[in-house]
Structure 1
Amino acid sequence: MNWFAPIPLSIKLPLLAAAMMVLVGTVASQQVLRSLAQVQDARIQELARMHVEGLSVALGPLVLRHDIWEVYDTLDRAAQGGEGRRMVLTAVADERGRVLAATDPRRVPIDSDIAALSGDAVALDGLTVDGASPVLSLLAPLSYQGRAVGQIATELDVSDLLTERRKALLYLIMGNAIAIGLLSVAGFLAIRKMLNPVTSLARQMTETHGKPRSIPASEIPPGDGELAQLARTYNAMVDAVAAKTEAERRLAERERFVALGRLSSSLAHEINNPLGGLLNATDTIRSYPDRPEVVRQSADLLDRGLRHLRDVTRATLDQNRVDPEIRVLGPDDFEDIKLLIQPEVSRLALDLSWSVDPAAVTASGIPAGPVRQIALNLLLNACAAAGKEGRVGLIACAMDGGLTLRITNTGAAMPRAALDRLLGDGPLTPGGGVGLRLVRELARKMAGTIGHANENGATRITVSLPAPMEARDAQE
Structure 2
Amino acid sequence: MIRALRNLPLSLRLPLLGGAMMILVGAVASQQVLSELGRVQDARLQELARLHVEGLSIALGPLVLRRDVWEVYDTLTRAAELAEGQRMVLTAVADEDGRVLAATDPRRVPTGSPIAGMADTAVPLDQLSVGARARTVDVVAPLDYQGRRVGRIVSQLDVTDLQAERRRALWLLIAGNALAIAFLTGLGYAVMRRMLRPVSVLARQMAGAGDAPQPIPAAEMPHGEGDLARLARTYNGMVDSVAAKADTDRRLAERERFVALGRLSSSLAHEINNPLGGLLNATDTIRNFPDRPDIVRGAAALLERGLQHLRDVARVTLEQNRLDRQTSVLSQTDFEDIRLLIEPELKRMAQDLDWHVPDGVVEGLMLPAAPVRQILLNLLLNASAAAGQGGRVGLYASADEAGLSFAVFDNGPGLPDAARVRLLGNVTVTPAGGGGVGLRLVRDLVKGLGGSVTHARKDGMTRICVILPQAGGRSDA
Q: Quick check: which has more Rg, 1 or 2? A: 2
Q: Name the TM-score, length of structure 1 as normaliser.
A: 0.47
State the TM-score, normalized to the length of structure 2: 0.47
